[in-house]
Amino acid sequence: MIFIVVSMIAIPMAVFADKFLRFWVGPDIASHSSIPMVLLVATYSLLAVTSVPWGIANGSGKAQYNAIFTLLIAAADIGLFLVLIKPFGVTGAAAAYLIAAAVGAPALIAFIERRLLHLSGFEFVKIYWRVGVASVIQGAIAFAARGLAVNLLSTVALMAISALSFFAIYMVLGFTQEGDRRLVSLLLQRLHR
């Protein structure tokens, strides 16, 4: 569920970043902030998917794994900041943060899978490939719809439609599993009460 929610929200945020910023804060800021926004959306998406292994480590009494992960990511961030900020400014800072997360997040997930769950360390790849395929299609559709984003309201509406389209794409491709359907049903029942 985390992979799905993160992907369905991150894709439209990245695809419509420049238009959203232009209509929200103006073209001057958008021209300097669009690429960093896309990089930061990717970074925080990667960090968000670590919430499950993070919780597993804490719940298993192995919070030190999370602390070590945080320290290693911070050290990588600082090192990359020193290299990338001077030549690339804010874009370099965002890229540094993304590079550290792109290495650290999968490493943490694989480590927790192997060490605490006694799985292969690649179970998340088996889960994510379906989400990835649906995300690519969602992104292509959103990209094709960019021309319809002519003001802030239409841009936000297209972002919302793109996010919701993920579910339709996922179901049409036949990627839903019985466990997914039960979890969604349970969540909807609890929300209804």
- Find out whether 9 and 167 touch, Cβ atoms under 8 Å: no
pLDDT at residue 171, as a whole number: 86
What percent of the chain has a predicted confidence (pLDDT) above 70?
100
Q: How confident is the model at residue 1 (pLDDT cuts 50, 70, 90)?
A: confident
Mean pLDDT value across the chain: 93
Q: Residue 102: pLDDT above 90? A: yes
Q: What is the mean pLDDT of residues 117-140?
A: 91
pLDDT at residue 126, as a whole number: 84
pLDDT at residue 188, as a whole number: 79
pLDDT at residue 41, as a whole number: 97
- Other beta carbons less than 10 A from residue 85's beta carbon: 16
Count of domains forming the chain = 1
Domain that holds residue 179: 2-192
pLDDT at residue 32, as a whole number: 93
Nearest to 5 by CA among 131, 107, 112: 131
pLDDT at residue 161, as a whole number: 96
Q: What is the mean pLDDT of residues 32-58?
A: 95
What ranges make up the beta strands (E) of the chain? Answer: none
Q: Is the dihedral of CA 161, 166, 167, 168 positive or negative?
A: positive
Stated as kind and residue range, the H or E segment containing 91 is helix 63-115
